[in-house]
Amino acid sequence: MALALAAPPTFAAAGQAWDPPQKPAATPLPRSARFGAAVDRTAKSPAGEATPAGYETVLGVNEVLSGKHKEGAARLAAVAGRAGALADVAAYYLGLGRFLSGDAPGAAAALAGLAEAPQASFLGRDAQYLALEAASRAGDNTRALALAEAWLTEADPTLAPEAWLRAAVAANALGQRRKAADFLRHLSLAWPDAQAAQAGNALARAMCGEMGRGMGREMGQGEASGGQEGRGPSRTSPTGGGEACYDPDTPANVLLRAEAMVEKGAPEAALKLLEGKWPFDAGQAARAEYVRGKALYRLRRFKAGAEAFARAAGADPAAPLAGWARYHEARCLWRSFEAADLDRMEALLRQVLAAPGRDDPLREVAARHLALLLVERGRFPEALAAAGQLKGLAVSPDLAAQGATLTALLRFVTGDLAGAVADLAAFPERFPEDDWADGARYWRGKALAAQGKPEEAARAYLDVLSRRPNSYYGGRAQAALAAMGRSVGPGVVASPVREGPRCPGRGEPASAPAAAALAKARLLADSGLPALAEMQLDFAARAMPDRADLAMAHIEAAEAMGRRGAVLRTAWRTFGGCLARGTAGDLQPLRQALYPRAHAGLVTAALAGSGIDPDIVSSLIRQESFFDPDVVSGAGAVGLMQLMPDTARAMGAKLGLKVDRQALFDPAVNIRLGVAFFRERVASAGSLSAALAGYNAGQNRAAVWTRGFGGLGEELFTELIPYTETRDYVRRIDANAMMYARLYGR
């Protein structure tokens, strides 16, 4: 007899789990609803004169944000229609105040205009979401469903689970069961560990239970299709109505939910889910071990993960799942430093590649990892042969590009320069949008130089330099040309690039919409609402990405708010070409926002006598924390240089300092200890690239790479780092150090 399903989770007795929270303030809300109260100031119009309605609007917004919801809503209702440029702000916070004070119908009415035309205001999308919540709370399911479907076209991922839940509840209430089931299935698998997904699963169980009872009435008590153990992923009513349900507790759906939890960053939840006594058949039990292995890998429990994958493969060695389980077992073993584990990894990958049948994606990843393992062990000809097994496989462009990159580099390493030149020349033609296209151009120059063809090599380097001089490969190409005695000045423009890049500070035509957006942002900032000013500028800069004035205004506002991610997004969207090709003069207006040099004196003092370029450490800090002294990583690393407390204490003992975790938030302490640690890594690793790799991946792993291919030189060491994250990390720090040198001078 099949095992009984695990009991579904229980929820609070007060109302159904999928009802809106009893207190409106407990509802997930957008960022604009969670600002603290602003400073009271007299609002000013774009022309500069004080306006009573504007002043009242700002006071009302402050009252709503400070918790005086009814008072703020009343004040804003009194100025409705007279707020001028702040009309959308007044309407939104009137709606928010009413919503939070429990007046859902009043909130819906206040928000209706903004919700119907969300593209017209920087608060439009938030108003649409809040109107959805108000409609749900008011029981207007038709309106709630329409608003949810409209908002979900460009959903904010932090609020999307709640909106999917509200959409499902509304569809179910309207009798649209199949649509509701589709919403619940998406919610359960896209956000499997979210609180909204748990509530959605409870609703799904209730819907399936209702359908089961309906089927029982149709078929006679005791004759429902299959009972508890027979539940499938969906069920259709025998009456022909087309109603279906999503059952999160079928074995198949449990496995899908667990795998989604792993992929969405909740491996602990996946393991907990798999602990239930689910009635898996033999194939599903093997799949459960496979998913368990993936969860353990994410938790860095590599030995236990390898054992789980081995069990999955052993359940049916000829099944397609077994090949993938062997591949993932090999990945777990790669994290070991034991020679026997690495030997088994190699054997597993060769077993996958030798298996009959053709699973191109599996064979591609197995061949690539085998090549990387052989590179790590310094067996370059064998690595090239393994990389050659990628040819002819129907793989994705991204994976094919990775294979082509590795093959070309290994031809260079093994002395097949003609083959390397041919492969490297073909790469940009085959993968013109790949990030490594300039890398292929640069290494083609290196291969031509090694063949004794300096003129052709120089042309290849110049091609790279003229395309993106401010990139990693642009900097390498400039250094290579300088070593050949061919100095190239700033401002090189590529022959394929017919127009100069858009840079800040250059003249642009007047624009009435841009001027209005800037004026409104100034009004909000002058009114003591800087967070709303930043939102307005972000909205305008997205709508008009070719306007340098809007982009710079938003970058300045976002920097002041500490929103580094927003700074970078706007800078790259509007000034991406300038960041890649602009001169130091072009980039000066962006220097402080994108390449700050905070605490430069502390860095220089800590590096005294080391010979290490301070720009490398500034770039490292930029990469680790973007100069935020209060940042803490998910792994527990602290502060500017992201030091683990144990590492900091060990370094402190060497320097005669007693250090606790709290001290690591002090920039002076963090930089002193972090630089001391980095200096040790450089001294022991033997090269800057290896030291940076160790800072990211761990010094023991970097030592393995140094033994395997460190003798090829720093450039090839960087290119052959097997971990994509670490390889990109080293390149990025090198490129950013070059930018620091250009923008600030040596």
Matching residue, tokens 């240089």 = 641
Backbone angles phi, psi at 561, to 5 degrees: -85, -5
624 is catalytic: yes
Q: Residue 6 half-sphere exposure, CB side, CA atoms within 13 Å? A: 16
- 552 has which bridge partners? none
Matching residue, tokens 């079928």 = 250
Rounded distance, CA 719 to CA 727, Å? Answer: 7
Continuous segment of H or E residues that includes residue 243 = none
Q: What is the distance of C-alpha 710 from the center of its chain?
A: 31
Rounded distance, CA 723 to CA 293, Å? Answer: 20
Backbone angles phi, psi at 107, to 5 degrees: -65, -45
Whether residue 421 contacts residue 459, with contact meaning beta carbons closer than 8 Å, is answered with no
The one-character DSSP state at 224 is: S
Rounded distance, CA 67 to CA 410, Å? Answer: 64
Token digits for 636?
């527990």
Q: What is the dihedral of CA 238, 240, 246, 250, to 10 degrees?
A: 30
The one-character DSSP state at 155 is: -
The one-character DSSP state at 634 is: T
Annotated catalytic residue, options 56, 624, 714, 725:
624
10 Å Cβ neighbour count for 296? 23
Whether residue 35 contacts residue 65, with contact meaning beta carbons closer than 8 Å, is answered with yes
Q: How many helices (H) and strands (E) does the chain have?
A: 35, 0
Token digits for 40?
């009271």
Phi/psi-derived region of residue 40, left when phi > 0, alpha when psi is between -120 and 50, beta in every other case: beta
Rounded distance, CA 295 to CA 308, Å? Answer: 10
Rounded distance, CA 369 to CA 633, Å? Answer: 28
Continuous segment of H or E residues that includes residue 309 = helix 302-315
* Largest separation between any pair of C-alpha atoms in the chain: 92
Whether residue 559 contacts residue 567, with contact meaning beta carbons closer than 8 Å, is answered with yes
Q: What is the dihedral of CA 164, 166, 168, 171, to 10 degrees?
A: -130
Active site residue ranges: 624
